[in-house]
């Protein structure tokens, strides 16, 4: 493999090998976040466009593979929100880039209809290198109605040898007409041993098996999300102490994290408290480190409040006030459990 394209995790490699045997022109990779949809989708289009492909995927060293690595392959169109494209190094249309550079607008968090039209136009041009052209759409749930409908006819009846990969972390948000035109592949979950070994390898000496297991637990078993927790500096001591600290009103363990991460922790805590209240196993925190759950009605109300907060968590609210409100509400909810346990 090339230096810019590390080897796939073993559970993704198994899925890639199976997908390469399918002949459909449009594949939808579907599953929750953290399972590697983007990396699997990119590996799939690399294999389709590779000049010397194998049963395991792209060769990693031909001209086509290099062109994808440096984001210049003429037979690949990557359709994603501008914010994500900038993060991942994919070039924007010249006009869109100029508008952003001139501060006429901010990068879009959705897949714009103009980009969808460019992708359709791309499918109608002559191939430059090999026998196939490819379109990678990620995350596909960021297609709005207009951009999705722009792709619809081309997705149903592509011109010539054009193949599509749509990758999503929220398939229910994709138009049914789009989903019906794709072969759906449900992302596989790795087993714990395999995921922990991968995390230790990716941590490059910063974590042992025990630490990697904490990251994996914090991410609910999703390896990509677990790696993000590791990169954020999460330790076993911090994670296991969080529930009791929040019950005391101590927000210091979360203070340096982004609001979206803070809210994710509160949602995980609420989930595990509900699991305890129902007599079910916890998923994110050790059960013996949780405070006493309050009444079910209290937890259900808190869960709805957290879901509503998630809808606006990326908006530019005053972070300090937001943290104070969340900390106060969390302490209030957990105090009700403490009273119940007396």
- Which domain CATH number covers 110? 3.40.50.300
Annotate 14-49 with b (16+ C-beta within 10 A) or e (fewer): ebbeebbeeeebbbbbbbbbbbbbbbbbbbbbbbbb
Pick the closest to residue 166 from 79, 84, 83, 58 (CA basis).
79
Q: State whether 131 and 165 are in the same domain.
A: yes
Specify whether the CB–CB gap between 133 and 149 falls below 8 A: no
- Enter the DSSP assignment of 271: H
What are 76-88's pLDDT values in tens digits?
999 999 999 999 9
Global confidence as pTM: 0.87
* CB-CB contact of 169 with 39 (8 Å): no
Q: Are residues 66 and 181 in the same domain?
A: yes
CA distance 283 to 287: 9
Structural domain contains residue 5: no
Integer-rounded Cα radius of gyration of the chain: 22
Q: DSSP letters of 100-152?
A: HHTTSSPPPSSB-HHHHHHHHHHHTSPPSSSS-EEEEETTGGGB-HHHHHHHH
pLDDT of residue 340: 60
Average model confidence (pLDDT) across the chain? 91
- Looking at the domain assignment, is residue 81 inside a domain? yes
181 in the same domain as 64: yes
Look at residues 170, 203, 234 and tell me which one is the last residue of a structural domain: 234
Q: Is the pLDDT of residue 302 over 60?
A: yes
Q: Are residues 156 and 291 in the same domain?
A: no
Phi, psi for residue 228 in degrees, rounded to 5: -65, -45
Write down the pLDDT at residue 186: 97
Give percent of the chain with pLDDT exceeding 70.
Answer: 96
- pLDDT digits over 35-63, tens only? 999 999 999 999 999 999 999 999 999 99
Answer yes or no: do 176 and 72 share one domain. yes
Q: Are 254 and 227 in contact (CB under 8 A)?
A: no
In a domain, residue 328? The reply is yes
User: What is the predicted pLDDT for the residue at 219?
Assistant: 94
Q: Does 199 reside within a domain? A: yes
The answer to whether position 4 is within a domain reads no
Residue at which a domain ends, from 176, 207, 234: 234
Instruction: With beta carbons less than 8 A apart as the criterion, state whether 129 and 64 touch.
Output: yes
Is 2 within a domain?
A: no
For residue 216, what is the domain's CATH number?
1.10.8
Q: Identify the CA nearest to 326 among candidates 275, 250, 221, 271.
A: 250
Q: Contact 337/292 with Cβ under 8 angstroms?
A: yes
Same domain, 69 and 96: yes
Summarize the confidence of residues 20-29 as an average pLDDT.
Answer: 93
Residues 6+ apart with CB under 8 A from 318: none
Same domain, 128 and 167: yes
Report which of 181, 116, 167, 106 is spatially closest to residue 146, judged by C-alpha positions.
116
Range of the domain at 137: 10-186
What is the count of structural domains for the chain?
3
Rounded to an integer, the average pLDDT of 116-143 is 91
> Which is it for the CA torsion 141, 223, 87, 85, positive or negative?
negative
pLDDT for 62-114, tens place per residue? 999 999 999 999 999 999 999 999 999 999 999 999 999 999 999 999 999 99
Taking residues 304-308, report their average pLDDT: 95
In a domain, 116, yes or no: yes
To which H or E segment does residue 166 belong?
A: strand 162-168
- Minimum mean pLDDT among 38-42, 102-106, 231-235, 269-273: which range? 231-235
**pLDDT digits 0-9 by tens, 161-219:** 899 999 999 999 999 999 999 999 999 999 999 999 999 998 887 888 999 999 999 99
* Eight-state DSSP code of residue 283: S
Q: Does the pLDDT of residue 2 top 60, yes or no? A: no
Look at residue 1 in the predicted model and tell me its pLDDT: 39
The answer to whether residues 94 and 224 belong to one domain is no
Residue 3 in domain:
no
Say whether both 96 and 127 belong to one domain.
yes
| Domain termination site, one of 234, 264, 295 | 234
Average pLDDT score over residue span 227-242: 90
Read off the pLDDT band of 316 (50, 70, 90): low
Q: Across residues 27-32, what is the average pLDDT?
A: 97
Same-domain check for residues 247 and 299: yes
* C-alpha triplet 250, 257, 190: angle, nearest 5°: 110
Tokens of 286: 């050790």
pLDDT higher than threshold 50 for residue 130:
yes
Shared domain for 202 and 303, answered yes or no, is no
Do both 55 and 179 map to the same domain?
A: yes
């Amino acid at each position: 493999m090339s230096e810019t394209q590390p080897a796939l995790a073993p559970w993704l490699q198994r899925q890639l090998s199976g997908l390469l045997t399918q002949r459909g022109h449009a594949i939808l990779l579907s599953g929750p976040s953290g399972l590697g949809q983007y990396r699997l989708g990119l590996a799939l289009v690399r294999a389709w466009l590779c000049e010397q492909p194998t049963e395991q995927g792209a060769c990693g060293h031909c001209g086509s593979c290099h062109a994808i690595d440096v984001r210049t392959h003429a037979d690949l169109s990557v359709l994603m929100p501008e914010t994500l494209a900038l993060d991942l190094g994919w070039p924007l249309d010249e006009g869109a880039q100029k508008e952003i550079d001139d501060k006429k607008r901010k990068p879009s968090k959705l897949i714009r209809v103009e980009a969808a039209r460019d992708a359709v136009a791309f499918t109608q041009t002559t191939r430059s290198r090999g026998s196939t052209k490819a379109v990678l759409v990620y995350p596909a749930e960021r297609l709005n109605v207009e951009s999705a409908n722009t792709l619809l006819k081309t997705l149903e009846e592509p011109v010539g040898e054009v193949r599509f990969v749509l990758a999503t972390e929220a398939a229910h948000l994709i138009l049914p007409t789009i989903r019906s035109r794709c072969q759906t592949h449900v992302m596989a979950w790795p087993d714990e041993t395999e995921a922990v070994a991968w995390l230790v390898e990716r941590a490059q000496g910063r974590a042992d098996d025990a630490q990697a297991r904490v990251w994996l637990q914090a991410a609910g078993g999703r390896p990509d999300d677990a790696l993000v927790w590791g990169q954020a500096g999460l330790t076993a001591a911090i994670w296991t102490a969080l529930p009791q600290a929040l019950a005391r009103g101590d927000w210091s363990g979360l203070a340096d994290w982004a609001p979206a991460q803070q809210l994710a922790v509160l949602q995980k805590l609420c989930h595990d408290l509900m699991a305890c209240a129902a007599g079910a196993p916890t998923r994110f925190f050790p059960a013996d480190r949780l405070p006493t759950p309050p009444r079910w009605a209290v937890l259900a109300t808190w869960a709805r409040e957290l879901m509503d907060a998630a809808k606006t968590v990326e908006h530019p609210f005053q972070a300090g006030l937001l943290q104070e409100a969340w900390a106060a509400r969390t302490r209030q909810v957990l105090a009700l459990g403490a009273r119940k346990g007396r």
